[in-house]
Chains A and B, each alone.
Chain A
C-alpha cells in the first residue's frame, strides 16, 4: 500500500493539501484534529483499507505511528519511514 494514499486520507480529513504526515505527527500538531475528526480519520482509514479498529485501538491511536502499527498488525503492508 502506498504512503501517498495514506497521506491523502489525512489531507482530505483535515482539509490541508500541504500536510506532511510522519510517524511522530499527533493531534497537537494538526489543526482540527479533535475527537470528531479523529473518528472521521478512523472511518476513512477503515474504508480505504478494509479493516476495523477496535475501541482500544481507536483510543490508543495518539500518533500517526500508532495508526501505522495498528494497520500493520491487521496485515496492511504500509511502507513508511
Chain B
C-alpha cells in the first residue's frame, strides 16, 4: 500500500487510517489511476506543506474527513431530491466564508487535499498543466488575477509556473485570503502574490484600473457558490485584457454546504460563458465516480476562455 520512496504519503495514510478507519483507502484511487505522477505530486505537496509537523497534518486530515463526509451526506440527500438544499448566498457566506474556525479547520484543508485525493480534481489539475500552463509560460506579461481563491491551490499552481509570474486575488473571505497567504508562504511564492477583500459582483474593480486588464484570470469552483453566476462572469470578462486567457471551473450535480447554483450539464456553463462575452477555446469534464444506476454523481468542468 505504501512506498518508502514517498514517506510523507505513508505518514499521511497512517494518520488517515488512525483518525478515520473508514477512509483508510482514500489515496488508492489517485494512485491507481495516475500512478507515479500522482505519487510524486502528492508527496511534494505534503512534504512542503506539512514538513515534519505531525500535529498540523493530523488537523488537516481531520478537516478533510469532515469536509468529505459533510459533502457525501449532502450528495446522498441530493440523489433523492435532485436539488441543492435551499440557501442564500448571505447564509452560505455567514456559515462558511466568514467563519474563521470553519475555514481553517475544515473548509480550506478539505479543498486543498481534495485536489489530490479526488481523482476528478487531480484530472483537472493535469489538464490545467497540459493546456493552460503553456499559455502562461509563453506569455510576455504573466500577471494573473484569481477570483475566489479558496485555499490558494490554483494561485500556487500559477505562481509556480515561472519565477516572474505575479498574482492578485479577490475574495470575500478574509480567512481564505489568510489561509492562502500561509499556503503560498510554504512554497516560497508568497512575495509575488497579494490578496484583497472584494466582491467583484457588488463592487467590481473600477473601469480603467489595472484590475481591468489582467492577461490571465483564474476562477476555480466559484460559480456554484453564487446566486447569479452570469453576473459574476460578466465581471470576470470585464477584468480580462484583450487577448487574455481565463481558466474557469465549476462543479456539476455536486452538493456541498455552500453550493447554491445547480448545474446539470456542462453545456449550460458554456452558454453562460458565451453570454458573458467569452469565447470558449477548450474544455474538459470529469466524473467523481461511476454511478451505480441513474443517480447524479459529482462532476467537474473546466474551461479555457478568451
Interface residues of A (CB under 8 A from B): 26-28, 33-40, 42-43, 55-56, 58-59, 62
State which of A28, A35, A56 has its C-beta within 8 Å of the C-beta of B72: A35
State which of B19, B26, B62, B106 has its C-beta within 8 Å of the C-beta of A35: B26
- Residue B66, interface by CB 8 Å: yes
- A68 CA / B32 CA spacing, docked (Å): 35
Chain A's closest residue to B67 (CB) is A55
Chain B neighbourhood of A34, CB < 8 A: 22-23, 25
A-B pairs under 8 A by CB, number: 50
Contact with A along B214-225 (1 / 0, CB 8 A): 000000000000
- A39 CA / B69 CA spacing, docked (Å): 7
Is B21 within 8 A of A27, CB to CB?
Answer: yes
Is B73 within 8 A of A28, CB to CB?
Answer: no
B70 to chain A: closest CB distance in Å?
5
- A55 CA / B110 CA spacing, docked (Å): 13
28 inter-chain pairs at a CB distance below 8 angstroms, sorted by A residue, are A27-B21, A28-B21, A28-B24, A34-B22, A34-B25, A35-B20, A35-B22, A35-B26, A35-B72, A37-B22, A38-B22, A38-B69, A39-B69, A39-B72, A39-B73, A42-B69, A43-B73, A43-B76, A55-B66, A55-B70, A55-B106, A56-B66, A58-B69, A59-B20, A59-B66, A62-B19, A62-B21, A62-B22
Is B21 within 8 A of A35, CB to CB?
Answer: no
Chain B's closest residue to A40 (CB) is B76
Chain A neighbourhood of B106, CB < 8 A: 55
B135 to chain A: closest CB distance in Å?
36
Is A58 within 8 A of B25, CB to CB?
Answer: no
Within B65-96, the residues touching A (CB, 8 Å) are: 65-66, 68-70, 72-73, 76
Within B46-62, the residues touching A (CB, 8 Å) are: 62
B172 to chain A: closest CB distance in Å?
22
Chain A's closest residue to B25 (CB) is A34
Is A59 within 8 A of B69, CB to CB?
Answer: yes
B37 to chain A: closest CB distance in Å?
24
Within B189-226, the residues touching A (CB, 8 Å) are: none
A34 to chain B: closest CB distance in Å?
6
Chain A's closest residue to B64 (CB) is A59
B191 to chain A: closest CB distance in Å?
36
Beyond the given pairs A58-B73, A62-B22, 6 more chain A to chain B contacts, judged by CB atoms under 8 angstroms and listed by A's residue number, are: A28-B21, A35-B23, A38-B69, A43-B73, A59-B69, A62-B20
Chain B's closest residue to A41 (CB) is B22
Chain B's closest residue to A29 (CB) is B21
Chain A neighbourhood of B20, CB < 8 A: 35, 59, 62
Q: Given A55-B66, A58-B69, is A27 in contact with B76 using a C-beta cutoff of 8 Å? A: no
Is B26 within 8 A of A58, CB to CB?
Answer: no
Chain B neighbourhood of A28, CB < 8 A: 21, 24
- A27 CA / B24 CA spacing, docked (Å): 9
Chain A neighbourhood of B72, CB < 8 A: 35-36, 39
Q: Given A40-B76, A55-B106, A59-B62, is A33 in contact with B22 using a C-beta cutoff of 8 Å? A: yes
Is B25 within 8 A of A39, CB to CB?
Answer: no
Is A39 within 8 A of B76, CB to CB?
Answer: yes
Chain A neighbourhood of B65, CB < 8 A: 59
Within B1-39, the residues touching A (CB, 8 Å) are: 19-26
Chain A neighbourhood of B68, CB < 8 A: 35
